[in-house]
Amino acid sequence: MSGAGAAGRRHLERNALYLMAGTVLTAGVGMVFWVAAARYYPTAEVGRASAVISTATFLGNLSHLNLGNVYARFLPAAGRRTRHLVTRGLLMTGGIGLLVGAGFVLLWQGDVLFASDAEAAFFPLAVAVLTVFTVQDFVLLGLRSASWIPIENLAFSIGKLVLLIALAFVVPEGGLVIAWVVPAAVAVAVVQVLIHRRLLPRRMDGVGPDRLPPVRGLVGYASAEFATGVMAHVIPMILPLIILHELGAEQNAYFAIPWVINSALNMLTWNIATSFVVEASTDEDQTQALTRRSLRLGLLVGGSGALGLLVFAPLILHVFGGEYASEGVELLRIMAVAEPFCIITTVYSGVLRVRRQAGRVVIVQGFIAASIVTLTVLLIPTMGINGAGVAYLLAEGTAGLVLLIPLIRSLRHRKPVGAPRPDAVPAVPGADR
């Protein structure tokens, strides 16, 4: 094992661990946040505030254009253009978030969403903040400084819990939204200072010229990533609407909890694949070894998680109530069976990103999305919410089996000695700290 190869694998494992820690912290404290909200705020206010926060988060996810995956792929190769790429991208996505949020407020006709005119005026800024809050994590990862991500997420999580309690008796209407957005804004300000005052100057010290593709190539890649991101965020919106229309609100509730739990597991394996993209983009000669390592890590983490869901599904769902356990256990287990196929798809999508073949990722995600929606519509009238689980399993299983063949080929392919490395970037001393 070469020194560069061993270092790359250490970076991959360490950054994946930081990302997974951030994911677990965010999910865990997020659940505590809503439990505390239910205790300190009226039920109607919790429902209204959750709608505002969910809407702002969704609009923020659309506004960042999936630029995070572009940063993961190209920041390691940006060279002297690193600062330019980071600054322009953050300003652009933040500005888009502001405009999208303002557009939503202007077009919104109802009077039940916002608690006051002040909250409505505050909403565009909230969307912009949540947009940048998401993107800056990918900047940290692309700069190989992912160790800051769990620290940021922990501070954000503690801050919103403290504000939630502090504002409960001062701002009973609107306090939850403030408690969510203000800590995110503080985190954005602190991390931006960290990036521009410490991480970027260190990265720029002695860095060589960039190895980025032409502007047309960057735009094409970014457009493909945006399409992928739209499909990833639209599916969780469409399925509940289908189930709500066909089966009713109660069955939709029994569907939602297993879906969220399974999505959290998928997020862990996605963290591994994203870390892989960064490290393989830093040194493409190590792509094959890093692919193999990512697949092993993904199977270890995802496989263990899936096994845990299969065995402990009733106990996990019972936390939310006995009816959730009886109604949702089969659905959760069906989706857990799909996890190995999801891992194959996620890892190979990472390989395609390293090869700058993001258009193929769009095709894969488009097939999965269309299959899940179509099969769900066909199956739930006879199978209930389990039909959505079977649709998910069939779509992910088909994609995983098809992609297994090129994934195996990529693991067997040997790059000729002395072959060019278009995106390899010299390591920057201390860039991993």
pLDDT at 4: 55
Name the residue among 14, 263, 225, 28 with its Cα closest to residue 140: 14
* Predicted confidence (pLDDT) at residue 411 exceeds the cutoff of 60: yes
CA–CA–CA angle 323, 328, 329 (5° rounding)? 105
- Higher per-residue confidence, 113 vs 280: 280
Are 172 and 230 within one domain?
Answer: no
Is residue 204 located within the same domain as residue 233?
A: no
My answer on whether 196 and 237 are in the same domain is no
Q: 426 and 307 in one domain? A: yes
Does residue 333 share a domain with residue 362?
Answer: yes
What is the average pLDDT across 325-332?
A: 93
The answer to whether residues 417 and 297 belong to one domain is yes
Same domain, 293 and 411: yes
Q: Please say which residue of 212, 245, 269 terminates a domain.
A: 212
Lowest mean pLDDT among 115-119, 209-213, 315-319: 209-213
pLDDT digits (tens, 9 = 90+) for 24-54: 888 888 878 888 888 888 888 888 888 888 8
Asked if residue 127 and residue 24 are part of one domain, the reply reads yes
Mean pLDDT of 85-111: 92
Same domain flag for 178 and 219: no
Same domain, 170 and 312: no
Residue 417: what pLDDT? Answer: 41
- How much is the pTM? 0.85
Same domain assignment for residues 243 and 140? no
What are the pLDDT digits (tens) for 381-407? Answer: 999 999 999 999 999 999 999 999 999
Residue bearing the bigger pLDDT, 209 or 376: 376
pLDDT at res. 6: 67
Number of domains the chain is built from: 2
Determine the structural domain holding residue 92 and report its residue range: 1-212
* Structure confidence at residue 318 as a pLDDT band (50, 70, 90): confident
What is the rounded average pLDDT for all residues in the chain? 88
> Which pLDDT does position 9 carry in this prediction?
75
Give the residue from 167, 187, 212 where a domain finishes: 212
Specify the pLDDT at position 87.
94
* Mean pLDDT, residues 414-426: 46
Q: Please say which residue of 212, 234, 258 terminates a domain.
A: 212
**Residue 265 contacts residue 27 (beta carbons within 8 Å):** no
| Whether residues 228 and 147 fall in one domain | no
